[in-house]
Structure 1
Amino acid sequence: MAEEVKLFGTWTSPYSRRIELALKLKGIPFQYIEEDLSNKSPQLLKYNPVHKMVPVLVHNGKPITESQIILEYIDETWKNNPFLPQDPYQRAMARFWAKFIDEKVKAAEMKAKSVEGKEIELVVEEFFEEMKFLENELKGKDFFGGETIGFVDIVANIVAFFFTVTQQAVGVEAFTPEKFPVLFKWIGKITEIDVVNECRPPREKHLAYVKAVIEGFKSAPK
């Protein structure tokens, strides 16, 4: 029986972009359905009634939600090009750093979009401290996964292609090659991989979107 794989996502979401990348790295054919999150489709609400958000992977009619859970599902279902290491300790560490990126580093980046004035300085300081942990974790390696792209690298795409756009839109320079040479060397490595570049948003369109989000925060009632 032929596999049926569908991905519900949106082009601005780093979480659905990482699932696109995982599927392409595994060579899995899939149907992509772009969602308008301001007007969610009945299918999305059916497949993800709890959170009503993207990404949702539908494999042979069965939905899986939450991007890191989806990544693990993909890795366990399609064994080629494994993302997670076999060693239990290394697997645990990969999960730790992936969770750190989403819960700590991404949170600091999100705050930067919604604050102004002196608050930005505090957020930048927090962001800097979190990113230093990532910089140190990557030292001496080409990829977080070692010699090839792995689970943490897929999650960390958010660092490579979303943070640089956010800081340009906000107008601060917290994430630079001078401050984070190891991470920028890693960004250079992953951008040599064709499918990685296929799964990044068009920069100018993305920048315009982030600027609009920031303006929305500024004009919202306080």
Structure 2
Amino acid sequence: MLTGRPPFRGENDFLTFQQILSHDSDAMEFPAHVPEAARDLIRRLLVLDLDARLTDYDTIQAHSFFEGVDWTGISTATPPVVPDKTHLPTPTMVDGASPNWSLANVLNDVFGATPLLADDPRHHPIHSTTTSSSSILENNEGILLQADVKLHGSLFTKKARGLMFTTHGRLIVSDAKNQPPQVFQWGANAIHIVPKNTSTFDIRYTSGSFRITDTVHGAQAWCRLLNSFKP
């Protein structure tokens, strides 16, 4: 609550538990705004040695972080801050979507109404052809956007992949192990992009879908490019 983030966070569940089992509470780092009393409380709550860990209510309540708290009357005390009530519109459908729902509306809600370039993005490739990608490209085909990404798999696994979108409207997922790349032709009605957060998005098509994370360009850049492309 003080830092706005969990004390342990790995790339997947296994690595998160490894951090929990091997961390050094004395070496934990905190944001500058966290007071020393709070840092001491957090360290003593998370210490690996069970004998040194704060585990009972009396000891925790007596810690200096809670100095001035009247524990006997806390249930009847007035809260220091009472947040304003938030009134949200009643959903018109069971899943919260409206009858005129569209992907364009979702993108505007997530990223704001950002104007797109009026000219055809195929005329402005932003990446030059590299040696590794030249064998994948067709004649007179350029790269509009290219990135090293993570392809989400089952059981929280993520695999390193190359992702590029070309002037011919091809979305290409390549493997560093020189396996044949996966090619998706953009512009078909059945294929579209769905943002999940600032860096992750889904590519959905008739027979399936896959999830990509691009921490460099983010989901916004891919959504703008793919949705503005005209075949």
TM over 0.5: no
Q: TM-score, normalised by structure 2?
A: 0.20
Q: Which has the higher helix share?
A: 1
Q: Which has the higher contact order (CA 8 A, sep 6+)?
A: 1
Flag the structure with higher strand content.
2
Q: Normalised by the size of structure 1, how large is the TM-score?
A: 0.20
